[in-house]
Amino acid sequence: MKHRAMLTGLILTLAPGVSAPGQPGCVPTAADDEGPFYKAGAPLREATGKGLVVSGVVKSAATCQPITGARIEWWQANPRGEYDDAHRGSQVTGENGAYRFDTDFPPPYYGRPSHIHFKAEAKGYRQLTTQLYPTGGQSAVAFDLVLVKE
Ligand SMILES: [Fe+2]
């Protein structure tokens, strides 16, 4: 039983998003493939469709605090499963580090599950490229982007 208690403690310590006791940091967001459809320079916008609200906070892994002035970009397939310019967007975070946009629910395509690609960058932090995987039926999804210092 003693070993089991120790093991449980270890698992709790390593659970995603949970920091070890006494440490203020947040677990960095895992990187994921950029894929072949990234185009730089997505326009600033608040929507690339409707039906799914995606929101979150860009944070520092070291402190868990929001990052002001971070730039996020997203790109995804349209409802026909094709990448187009109407489904590329970017935002810059304010003091609360938050972003929020409305978009079309991305369909699965080429055997891949529904996903939205993201990049996030901020001065003094390593650029992050990752993906969000919304699940069917969701109308809102929260996705914090936790960046690591350079
Ligand atoms: Fe993709």
Domain 24-147 of CATH type 2.60.40.420: no
133 Cα–ligand 1 center, Å: 10
Handedness of CA 128, 131, 134, 135 (dihedral sign): negative
- Rounded to an integer, what distance in angstroms lies between the CA atom of residue 4 and that of residue 48? 49
116 Cα–ligand 1 center, Å: 7
Residue 21 has a pLDDT of: 56
Handedness of CA 92, 97, 103, 105 (dihedral sign): positive
Residue 109 has a pLDDT of: 83
Residue 20 has a pLDDT of: 52
What's the predicted TM-score (pTM) here? 0.84
Residue 48 has a pLDDT of: 98
Residue 136 has a pLDDT of: 79
115 Cα–ligand 1 center, Å: 6
Tokens in use for 22? 């006494």
Beta partners for residue 44, in sequence order: 90
**Residue that the structure tokens 């499963």 belong to:** 81
150 Cα–ligand 1 center, Å: 27
* Burial zone of 117 (CB within 10 Å; 0-12 exposed, 13-18 middle, 19+ buried): buried
> Which sequence spans correspond to the domains of the chain?
24-147
107 Cα–ligand 1 center, Å: 10
- Strand runs labelled E in 78-139: 83-92, 98-103, 116-121, 128-132
110 Cα–ligand 1 center, Å: 9
10-residue averages of pLDDT along the chain (150 residues): 44 46 82 97 98 98 98 97 97 97 93 96 98 92 98
Residue 23 has a pLDDT of: 61
